[in-house]
Amino acid sequence: MVLQNGPFVMANFPLNVLIITPGFAADENDSATIPYLQDYVLALKNKIGADHIKIITIHYPFIKKKYLWNGIEVFPVNGKNKKGLFRLYTIRQAVSIAKKLLKKDRYVLHSFWLTDAAMVGQFISKKYRLKHICTIMGQDAKASNKYLKYIDLDQITSVVLSKQLDDIFHMATGKQANHYIPLAIQKIHPLTNEKRNIDLLFAGSFIPLKHPEKFVETVISLRTTFPEIKAVMIGEGNLFADIQSMIRKTDNGMHIELTGNIPRAEVFRYMARSKILVHPSEYEGSATVFAEALAHGMHVICFDVGRTFHENIHVCENDGDMITQTKLLMHKQLNFEPLQEMTIDASADAYITIYNS
């Protein structure tokens, strides 16, 4: 972990944290919405208490009424990802909520993504001279992020989740993040009595960035060598119908099972039964799914995207190499020893150190 000095004002005690995010879980049963952030907030709650955390969620869920999530007050703005003038109105609404909260207490501000969430944090930070931390999560590090020109990076204490993400951020802005805290997940106790009867697993959104079609192509290419190959695809998205049709035409459901969106606990049960995560995404800041797969003893096949450097992560150069490396792994007697590099509790401790600096 790298900790350096950042541009902030001393925090007041007791520590109060205002989290600003584009989206958050709609209720305690919603395990699919930004699992990393849910894990982090719960870990932070265990450290400083629910009463000392408030959350402003800008776009999702699609409601405006305040609600409690595990005892923590959540203030939704209901921006619904609308653009143009409505986006400006949404930002103003989020700022208004923050101002009301600041009439009662002072907060350390922690935004997630260098987007409108960071803009809200920046405005409040400057007006009230509050410390503002922003965790850079993924595509927001890229030069294509239109919000970068509106955000004063010198007034934000920035955190990245991976070294690769810091390199991308540096290429886009000429700056490096103030801190590096590896992506962490809740402590996982994998089910050791599960039989590994799933060869290949896809877990993610069915969107162009994630290239679910390449997973299907990999399975189809391996059928002749492994006629009993079993694969599962977890998730949904705007490509779901296309993938469904592709599987019907090329596989007829013989080797590939589609689950749709399922609760996180059920995803973990599939991971405990799976050997290899094939992740053909073209970009990741720092993939939560890699950490989850490793914690369940899986091997990971991916392109050179946000990742932990570990012998069980196998990086491919192109589509053909992905098929080749998957084939080689399937021929091997694999070791399924669980690995969890960093727990979310340790991550919360690292952030609290920054909050209190």
Dump pLDDT digits (tens) for 307-325.
Answer: 566 789 999 999 999 999 9
pLDDT band at 1 (very low <50, low <70, confident <90, very high): very low
Bridge partners of 55, per DSSP, are 19, 74
Residue 122 in this model has a pLDDT that exceeds 60: yes
* Terminal-residue alpha carbon distance, the chain: 16
CB 7 within 8 A of CB 156: yes
To the nearest 10 degrees (0 to 180), the angle between helices 85-102 and 116-128 is 40
pLDDT confidence of residue 5? 36
Single-letter code of the amino acid located at 335: N
* pLDDT of res. 182: 87
User: Is pLDDT at 69 greater than 60 in this prediction?
Assistant: yes
- What's the mean per-residue pLDDT of the chain? 91
Average pLDDT score over residue span 83-92: 91
CA distance 89 to 155: 23
pLDDT tens, position by position, 25-54 = 999 999 889 999 999 999 999 999 999 999
pLDDT of 257 reads: 96
- pLDDT higher at 288 or 144: 144
pTM of the model: 0.84
pLDDT digits (tens, 9 = 90+) for 200-251: 999 999 999 999 999 999 999 999 999 999 999 999 999 999 999 999 999 8
| pLDDT band, very low/low/confident/very high, at 286 (cuts 50, 70, 90) | low
pLDDT for 9 equals 38
Q: Which domains does the chain have, with CATH numbers?
A: 2-184+344-356 (3.40.50.2000), 198-331 (3.40.50.2000)
Which segment of 139-153, 174-188, 196-210 scores lowest on mean pLDDT? 174-188
Q: In the prediction, which pLDDT does 2 show?
A: 42
* CA dist., res. 156 & res. 175, Å (int): 12
Phi, psi of 29 (to 5 degrees): -90, -5
Mean pLDDT calculated for residue range 186-196:
79
Return the pLDDT at 185.
84
Strands 53-60 and 72-76: parallel
| pLDDT-above-70 percentage for the chain | 94
| C-alpha Rg value of the chain to the nearest Å | 21
C-alpha angle 146-152-154 in degrees, rounded to nearest 5 = 135
Please check the confidence at residue 85 and state whether its pLDDT lies above 80: yes
CA distances from 171 to 109, 174, 177, 209 (A): 26, 6, 12, 21
Share of the chain above pLDDT 90, in %: 78
Q: Are 215 and 237 in contact (CB under 8 A)?
A: no
Q: What is the pLDDT of residue 11?
A: 38
Whether the CB-CB separation of 347 and 43 falls below 8 Å is answered with yes
Distance of alpha carbon 247 from alpha carbon 42, whole angstroms: 39
Residues 323-348 have pLDDT tens digits of 999 999 999 999 998 888 788 999 99
